Amino acid sequence: MSRRTQPDRVHQVAPAVERLGDGMVNFYLVDHPDGLVLVDAGLPGHLGQLREHLARSGRSLHEIKAVLLTHGHPDHTGLVTAAQQAGADIWIHEADAAILADGPRSAMRHAKPERSMFPYLLRRPASISGPLHLARMGGFSGRPVHGAHTFQGDHHFDEIPGRPQAVALPGHTDGTVAYHFPALGVLFTGDALVTREDMIGHTGPSLVSRGFTHDGAAALSSLDRLAELPPALLLPGHGPAFADGPQAAATQARHMGLH
């Protein structure tokens, strides 16, 4: 396994937020006094990393109160079953709930990308590492998930530690959202805005390529909504944190445009 895909790297990215995953996929643990919250759930192959990380600080999967999913793609939902079995509530926008209920392979059907990924692979053969990583870490082997809670549009989660707010940013999938934790000053953008795009080899704020995006025009429009959000540290589904806030991130992503 190459260094960039080692699943044993955990970084504290904000006072109460740890980033898990690897060099290609991020998910986050919010350590709030009222309980733990996972934002996104990585790949099935990240279970050992999460268990070991929690055990090192005397915690366990049972202390995760909720899993907030930014969307239904399999690189963001891999540990949902393990967290649910340990007692966590799973939350997803209702427009992506069918992907969860029908299993990872249904993502191509429920949120069909608007372009084939093959031209990207031909143009940049190294981009095959993304899909290969997904497969190697069990991204297509997950089971359907039943009993997830759904919400529509923007939603305030007053019962969840940190009292996060979902912000609907459709485009990457119909049910793509960001989660804002106002008191922590962090905004989890999922794949509505990333800071690393492996299909085109770009680092910095951008949309996800159209080879993995359902509706690029809608994703571009959603950047207008993102730009209006209050200043916060942006924590994306792929790539490093972005400290200059939503407005600057949206401007840079608009400049990159659809790709």
Q: Give residues in contact with Zn ion (CB under 5 A).
A: 73, 75, 191, 237
What minimum distance in Å lies between the beta carbon of 100 and Zn ion? 13
Region for residue 133 given its phi and psi (left: phi exceeds 0; alpha: psi -120 to 50; beta: otherwise):
alpha
In this complex, which beta carbon is closest to Zn ion, that of residue 73 or of residue 196? Answer: 73
* Contact between residue 47 and residue 75 where contact means Cβ atoms under 8 Å apart: no
What minimum distance in Å lies between the beta carbon of 33 and Zn ion? 30
- Alpha-carbon span 79 to 76, nearest angstrom: 8
What minimum distance in Å lies between the beta carbon of 183 and Zn ion? 26
* Contact between residue 188 and residue 62 where contact means Cβ atoms under 8 Å apart: no
The 10 Å Cβ neighbour count of residue 110 is 19
Residue 116 backbone dihedrals phi, psi, to 5 degrees: -70, 150
What minimum distance in Å lies between the beta carbon of 166 and Zn ion? 16
What minimum distance in Å lies between the beta carbon of 24 and Zn ion? 9
What minimum distance in Å lies between the beta carbon of 209 and Zn ion? 11
Residue 30 backbone dihedrals phi, psi, to 5 degrees: -100, 120
- Alpha-carbon span 117 to 212, nearest angstrom: 7
In this complex, which beta carbon is closest to Zn ion, that of residue 136 or of residue 156? Answer: 136
List the one residue out of 215, 189, 212, 207 whose CA is nearest residue 255: 207
In this complex, which beta carbon is closest to Zn ion, that of residue 21 or of residue 161? Answer: 21
In this complex, which beta carbon is closest to Zn ion, that of residue 22 or of residue 75? Answer: 75
* Secondary structure, 3-state, 78-89: CCHHHHHHCCCE
The distance in angstroms from the start CA to the end CA of the chain is 30
The 10 Å Cβ neighbour count of residue 257 is 10
In this complex, which beta carbon is closest to Zn ion, that of residue 174 or of residue 191? Answer: 191
In this complex, which beta carbon is closest to Zn ion, that of residue 40 or of residue 89? Answer: 40
